[in-house]
Amino acid sequence: MRLSDFDKAPENELTDLHATEESSSGLPMDVVAATGEENVAPETQAQSVAPEPGFLAVLKNRNFVTMWSGQIFSQLADKVYVVLMIAIIESQFQSENQSISGWVSAIMIANTIPAVLFGSLAGVFVDRWHKKEVLVSTNLLRGILVLSVPFLLWLTRGQVLANLPLGFEILLAVTFLVSTLGQFFSPAEQATIPMIVDKPNLLSANSLYTTTAMGSLIVGFAIGEPILALADSLGASIGLGVNIGKELLVGASYAIAGILLIVMRTGETKQIVTGNEPHVLADLRDGIRYLGEHKKIKGALIQLVVLQSIIASMTVVAVRMAELLPEIKASQFGFLLAAGGVGLALGAVGLSYLDRQFSRDRLSLYGSIGVAASLVGLSFSHSLWLSILCLVGMGVFSASVLIPMQTTIQSETPEEMRGKVFGLQNNAINIALSLPLALTGIAETALGVPTVLLCLAAISAIGGIFTQKYNAVD
């Protein structure tokens, strides 16, 4: 049956048509055969596929599942990479009775600089390239870089440059390059989701991605060290040598992500221009101008930046809270952060079932007020379990802001502008994550934890209400 025959088909034939085997994207196979492309535009999918609650609809989409599988390996590699660098420093560069803080700080700076320098520019290039090629190549290249670390350290052992071990400088360079590639991966990933998922299911897709990100964060930081130690043991047992299994594990995770993404179909039809392209800065200005002219996208971005700043501030406050709570030690502040991560994952799961009951703006407003209420409760808490409950609540409500606003940006931004917009978004959020780390410690010392928490609560509530009013103005 041709597409042009759909309007002529009697009702029983249409019923039979919808009962036929569906493609991996959720479209009937007849549609796929007629179009020659499984991944048609999201708008077409939205008309052909009845939305389903929860994660069921997106898990039936073969291309999304492929991309999600790649995300699992890539996210785990990202989180365990930091643990890997610390393990290498401990075993090869840290002297006895020497603090590891200076070494680790240098690694963290090398990991952060590309996000500030290249976040926006990377998005400009992503708009010029095929998204799938960016996703595949950035993962494969990161895998190669990590897999090369044991050889490079062996090649430079004992050598010193500018009063630093040359091997450590190699680690800094590899970290810088891995982070730089990540700046290209992030906007390409965000731009690809609306290409392979129909609009009614975008929020569910983002909910699943957020759940996975939180899971990888908890797994990567909580059990990253024993996983790397196990990888070293297994590597030695099969004759690969001592202490190289951990590099193989992280590098292979990136490589597997890239290989999985090779089979994904994005349905990109855009012709990539290779000559007479606008200057990079002109493209960057276009992205900034586009954000300025589209209030809904700008409002969503403002709310994301506000919430990310609050979350970053809480990573500093959590250390002091752990010190004040009688049940735990300051070094166990990770339990408090993990509680927020669990809440965010729970909120993401629940949100996939609520998106059709409330508008995204409403969900975001309720989420901002819920975050504020959780922070107020936390400011009066002197109990570990009450604090954990408030942090779980904060995580749940944070999901109601992060996921709807991310979905708004994806659905409202046209394909040709997504790389620029997501690059600018990543840049803004990276800055939003950096500044509070410096300011919150000063504020906590001067004002105390309860006052800082109340200030963060006010910022959350005001940010949510302001964005709601801002979007409502014609």
pLDDT band at 290 (very low <50, low <70, confident <90, very high): confident
Max CA pair span of the chain: 82
**Which residues, 6+ apart, have CB-to-CB distance to 146 below 8 Å?**
77, 81, 84, 174, 178, 247, 250, 251, 254
Token digits for 277? 């392209």
CA distance 213 to 67: 13
Structure confidence at residue 453 (pLDDT)? 92
pLDDT band at 15 (very low <50, low <70, confident <90, very high): very low
Residue that is written with structure tokens 């630093």 in the block: 164
3-state secondary structure of 279: coil
Q: Tell me: pLDDT of 462 over 60.
A: yes
Q: Kind and range of the H or E element at 165?
A: strand 164-165
CA 249 to chain centre: 21
The whole-number average pLDDT for the span 286-307 is: 81
CA distance 368 to 462: 8
Task: Say which residue, 425 or 472, is predicted with more confidence.
Answer: 425
CA distances from 16 to 20, 27, 28, 57 (A): 7, 14, 11, 20
Residue 154: how many CA atoms within 13 Å on its side-chain side? Answer: 9
3-state secondary structure of 164: strand
Backbone angles phi, psi at 382, to 5 degrees: -125, 15
> What percentage of the chain exceeds 70 in pLDDT?
77
Please name each of the domains of the chain with its CATH number.
53-265 (1.20.1250.20), 280-473 (1.20.1250.20)
Token digits for 81? 């990479």
Question: How confident is the prediction for the chain on average, in pLDDT?
Answer: 77
The whole-number average pLDDT for the span 415-444 is: 75
Within a 10 A sphere around the Cβ of 91, how many other Cβ atoms? 11
The whole-number average pLDDT for the span 325-348 is: 77
pLDDT band at 370 (very low <50, low <70, confident <90, very high): very high
Q: Tell me: pLDDT of 41 over 50.
A: no
Structure confidence at residue 277 (pLDDT)? 57
Backbone angles phi, psi at 10, to 5 degrees: -65, 165
3-state secondary structure of 28: strand
The whole-number average pLDDT for the span 425-435 is: 73
- Find the angle CA(115)-CA(108)-CA(90) to the nearest 5 degrees: 150
Instruction: Note the pLDDT tens digit of each residue in 106-122.
Output: 887 888 888 878 877 77
- Find the angle CA(340)-CA(343)-CA(388) to the nearest 5 degrees: 55
Task: Say which residue, 299 or 171, is predicted with more confidence.
Answer: 171
Highest average pLDDT, of 48-62, 213-227, 251-265, comes from 251-265
Structure confidence at residue 394 (pLDDT)? 92
pLDDT band at 355 (very low <50, low <70, confident <90, very high): low
Structure confidence at residue 31 (pLDDT)? 37
Q: Give pTM, 2 decimals.
A: 0.68
Q: Tell me: pLDDT of 38 over 70.
A: no
The whole-number average pLDDT for the span 431-450 is: 77
Beta strands 164-165 and 160-161 are antiparallel
Q: Tell me: pLDDT of 48 over 70.
A: no
Cβ–Cβ < 8 Å for 63, 24:
yes
Q: Tell me: pLDDT of 279 over 80.
A: no
CA distance 403 to 411: 12
CA distance 18 to 287: 41
The whole-number average pLDDT for the span 332-355 is: 77
Token digits for 423? 């690059």
Instruction: Note the pLDDT tens digit of each residue in 132-144.
Output: 999 999 999 999 9
Structure confidence at residue 21 (pLDDT)? 40
> What percentage of the chain exceeds 90 in pLDDT?
17
Length, in residues, of the chain = 474
- Find the angle CA(421)-CA(121)-CA(423) to the nearest 5 degrees: 25
Structure confidence at residue 454 (pLDDT)? 94
Q: Tell me: pLDDT of 56 over 80.
A: no
The β-bridge partners of 22 are 28
Q: Tell me: pLDDT of 200 over 70.
A: yes
Per-residue exposure over 376-408, b if at least 16 CB sit within 10 Å of its own CB, e if not: bbbbebeebeebbbbbbbbbbbbbbbbbbbbbb
Token digits for 177? 């390059």
3-state secondary structure of 161: strand
Q: Kind and range of the H or E element at 160?
A: strand 160-161
Within a 10 A sphere around the Cβ of 350, how many other Cβ atoms? 14
Instruction: Note the pLDDT tens digit of each residue in 374-410.
Output: 999 999 988 888 989 999 999 999 888 888 888 888 8
CA 274 to chain centre: 30
Instruction: Note the pLDDT tens digit of each residue in 88-101.
Output: 888 888 777 766 66
Structure confidence at residue 208 (pLDDT)? 82
Token digits for 371? 């975050």
Q: Tell me: pLDDT of 105 over 70.
A: yes
Among the listed residues 301, 257, 275, 283, the one whose alpha carbon sits nearest the alpha carbon of residue 126 = 283
Among the listed residues 70, 2, 64, 10, the one whose alpha carbon sits nearest the alpha carbon of residue 39 = 64
Token digits for 472? 């409502």
Among the listed residues 303, 285, 304, 236, the one whose alpha carbon sits nearest the alpha carbon of residue 123 = 285
